[in-house]
Structures are given as C-alpha cells and as structure tokens.
C-alpha cells in the first residue's frame, strides 16, 4: 500500500492540497516533510500522538521527517484552536521544554543517520531584522485574508481579542516552510486541521517567491465518541512524560477507551497492520476487551517501553479482577495515620490523590455515581474517611470503572 493510502485508510487525512499529485510523489519519490512542535510545556500530551504517528508511518514508508522545535514561535503562541492567549514563556523555559519534547519524539522517530532531521526555528528567526522581514515576507500577506482564517476569527470574536504578537504567527510559520524548502527541499507540511490556514499561507509564500508547488495534509481534530476532547479526563491531561502521567494511568486511559473508539484508535495510534485490525472489528461486549488490551499495550509500549508496559498491564488486570491488594505499579500516595485521626472529607481525599482537579468535579463525580472507596460507591460528598476505613493499612479509591489510586498509611 502506498504511503498516502496508508495515512488515508488509518484516518489521518482531513484535508489535502493537490491530492493526486501528492499521492504520486509519495508513491514514487522520497519526500521530505515537516511538522512543528511548539515547546509550550515540558511534555507532549496524547493529542500530539496523531501528528507523531503520521510522521512515523511516513518515515516507515521511506520518507524523511523534519521535526521542527518551535523555539521562537513558542515565545509568541499559536492562536490556532485557542480561545485565549497562552502564558508567555521565558527563553530558558522554552529551551528546556524543547529538549524534553525532542526525547519523546525520538521514541517514535529515527532522527539521525540521514533518516530524519531535527530543526529549531530559533536558528533562522532569532536574527531576523523585523522591518526587512516585513518588506520581504510580510508584503505577500493580505490582512483581510488572514483575519478570515478560523484560528484568528474565533479569537477576534471574543472579548479578549487577538494580540498583535499572535497575529504575526502565521507569517513566521509560513517563513519556516520557506526556509525548510530552501535548506532541505521540504515539500510537505502536516498538522492539525486548525493549522490549514497557516500551512496554506506557507504554500502561497513559496509559490510566489520560488515559483514551486508544495503541499499540505491536515489531520482531523479528534474527540472521543462521548464528546470529550482527546486526552482530557476528570483528573487532568494525559501526558507522555511518565512523571506527569504514570505508565499505569497511561495504560488505564487506553484500556478505558469507549467501545465506539477502539478500532479508530488502533488505526491511528498503533503500527498494527490494517488487516489485523479488521479482524477485531466484529468483537462485541466483553470480547471487545481483547481489542482494548491490545490498544492499551501497543500505545503504552511505544510511549514507555515494554517493561513498564508489562508492569502496568499486570497491575490493571489485578485491579480489574477485583483485587484490593496494594500493587507496586498502581499510583499511590503515602499518608500519615495522624492525618486521619480527626477524619478527612472524601472530597479532599479524591483531590489529594489526583482523581479530580476541583471539589466541584468530585461532587459531580459522586452525584453521578462514579466515586468509590474500597470498591464501595460513595453516596455523599459529606462522607468523612477515618483510619477505620482502611484495610490492611491502605485505602483504595476509584474514579469511574477503572481509574484507581491507593493511599498507604504509615
């Protein structure tokens, strides 16, 4: 199967420029392509797995990825898909974040030996002379066209508005594409569908300045079947960094996938052949757990390696089987027994262990019947937990069906 068809059949392609031409290029030639990652945090989250896996599939098809770390654009903040401005970061924060993100990308991509390229747009953006840049590049951008872009339109309609520094983002991203075309003959940029306007701006710039055709692919912006934003849970974001989201929690996120999403996620987030995935499509009910275990294992293995994945899987099976014993892989906190002498409100306990981000979220969880203490449903937000509730020196808390935390008393 050619590279474009593989991406399309797995669900990566939302929009594409000059599809027939690009399909032919990917089938017949080695294509250099790029995706940018702005290091606005010290870890990527699972929403970034769509572009990462698309890059990995193209690389496995013989094409050359360029991972652009947006060391300078991260200082500005991309308004695409954002309802409010990002917090401005220091150059030191951005540099540190970039190094950590690069290490995460290397788990999925080969970025050496001529097979892949790492670039930081700080290399060509930092020394830009702004007036000269506006004269040479800015004159190709029409303000009336820019403000029609969805990424700008949403923010312009809000009270907060759009800062002038953010308004420059499209110019800089387009310039990145131009530089990568000149330096590496990069002819394809990919990104989320909210990036379409920015990518098309880069295509137009290259066409005007170099008289060459380059291409775009955008990915669908994913939501789960239940309507939740990909990677967002009641207890927070699911990160690729094991210090921010443990391998156990990471595995649990995927094992808890909505039945309606399992096949779609297997196509997007694993390297399993499409033929093998097709064999799982007809599984129903409890048999579908087999497919969920395959999904959770494969995605966690890529992010955290086989050893941590085996440990997380075994812990999950133990807890899913109804066991109440402490397991070393299940997330836990240590609490002094004295802390329970006067008792602690169950809402505070759920916040303490990270099963929710606010008291209102805990209260909602309890009202919806999704909060458990030692496998018993919590029916009131006024419940006080004491040492008498502990079994064998620990408390087992659960959010929903399979999101566990342990409190070990000492």
Q: Could you state, in order of their start, the residue ranges of all structural domains in the chain?
A: 3-219, 232-320, 332-409
Residue 376: the pLDDT is 87
Q: How many C-beta atoms lie closer than 10 Å to residue 139's C-beta?
A: 9
Domain 332-409 grouped into CATH 3.10.290.10 = yes
Model's pTM, two decimal places?
Answer: 0.79
pLDDT at residue 336, as a whole number: 82
Token digits of residue 184? 């590496």
How does pLDDT run along the chain (410 residues), one tens digit per residue? 899 999 999 999 999 999 999 999 999 999 999 999 999 999 999 999 999 999 999 999 999 999 999 998 888 766 665 555 556 788 899 999 999 999 999 999 999 878 999 999 999 998 888 878 888 898 898 888 887 777 777 777 776 677 787 788 889 999 999 999 999 999 999 999 989 999 999 999 999 999 999 999 999 998 888 787 787 766 678 999 999 998 988 998 999 899 999 999 999 999 999 999 999 998 888 889 899 999 999 999 999 999 999 988 888 877 655 544 445 555 777 888 887 888 889 999 898 888 888 888 899 999 999 899 887 899 998 999 988 888 777 888 888 876 778 888 87
Dihedral, 378, 380, 381, 384 alpha carbons, nearest 10: -80
pLDDT in the model for residue 389: 85
Q: Are 322 and 375 in contact (CB under 8 A)?
A: yes
Query: What is the SS3 assignment for 186?
Result: strand
Q: How many residues does the chain have?
A: 410
Rounded Cα distance between 120 and 118, Å, is 7
pLDDT for the residue numbered 304? 96
Phi, psi angle pair for 300, to nearest 5°: -70, -35
For 232-320, CATH gives 1.10.240.10
pLDDT of residue 318: 72
pLDDT given at position 203: 97
pLDDT of residue 330: 58
Buried b (16+ CB within 10 A) or exposed e, 222-260: bebeeeeebbebbbbbbbbbbebbbbbbbbbbbbebeee
3-219 under CATH 3.40.50.620, yes or no: yes
The pair phi, psi for residue 101, each rounded to 5°, is -65, -40
């Amino acid at each position: 199967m050619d590279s474009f068809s593989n991406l399309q059949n797995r669900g990566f392609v939302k929009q594409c420029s000059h599809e027939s031409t690009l399909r032919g290029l990917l089938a017949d030639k080695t294509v250099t392509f790029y995706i940018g990652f702005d290091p606005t945090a010290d870890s990527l989250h699972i929403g970034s797995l769509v572009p990462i896996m698309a890059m990995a599939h193209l690389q496995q098809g013989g094409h050359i990825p360029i991972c652009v770390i947006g060391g300078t654009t991260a200082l500005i903040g991309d308004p695409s898909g954002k309802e409010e401005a990002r917090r401005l970061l220091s150059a030191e924060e951005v540099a540190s974040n970039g190094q950590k993100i690069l290490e995460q990308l290397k788990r999925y991509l080969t970025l050496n030996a001529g097979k892949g390229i790492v670039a930081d747009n700080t290399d060509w953006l930092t020394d830009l002379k702004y007036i000269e840049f506006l004269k040479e590049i800015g004159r190709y951008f029409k303000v009336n066209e820019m403000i029609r872009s969805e990424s700008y339109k949403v923010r312009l309609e809000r009270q907060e508005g759009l800062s002038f520094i953010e308004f420059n983002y499209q110019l800089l991203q387009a310039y990145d594409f131009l530089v990568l075309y000149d330096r590496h003959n990069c002819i394809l940029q990919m990104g989320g569908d909210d990036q379409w306007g920015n990518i098309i701006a880069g295509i137009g710039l290259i066409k005007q300045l170099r008289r060459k055709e380059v291409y775009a692919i955008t990915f669908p912006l994913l939501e789960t079947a239940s309507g939740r934003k990909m990677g967002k849970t009641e207890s927070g974001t699911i990160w690729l960094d094991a210090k921010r989201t443990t391998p156990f929690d990471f595995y649990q996120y995927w094992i808890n996938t909505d039945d309606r999403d399992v096949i779609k996620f297997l196509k997007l987030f694993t390297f399993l052949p499409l033929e093998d995935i097709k064999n799982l499509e007809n599984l129903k009910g409890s048999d579908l757990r087999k497919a969920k275990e395959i999904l959770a294992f494969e995605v966690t293995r890529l992010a955290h390696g086989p050893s941590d994945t085996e440990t997380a899987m075994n812990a999950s099976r133990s807890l899913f089987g109804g066991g109440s014993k402490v397991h070393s892989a299940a997330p836990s906190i240590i609490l002094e027994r004295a802390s329970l002498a006067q008792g602690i409100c169950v809402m505070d306990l759920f916040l303490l262990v990270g099963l929710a981000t606010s008291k209102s979220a805990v209260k909602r969880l309890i009202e919806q019947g999704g909060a458990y203490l030692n496998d018993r449903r919590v029916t009131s937000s006024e419940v006080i937990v004491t040492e008498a509730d502990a079994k064998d020196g620990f408390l087992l808390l659960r959010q929903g069906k399979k999101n566990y935390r342990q409190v070990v008393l000492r």
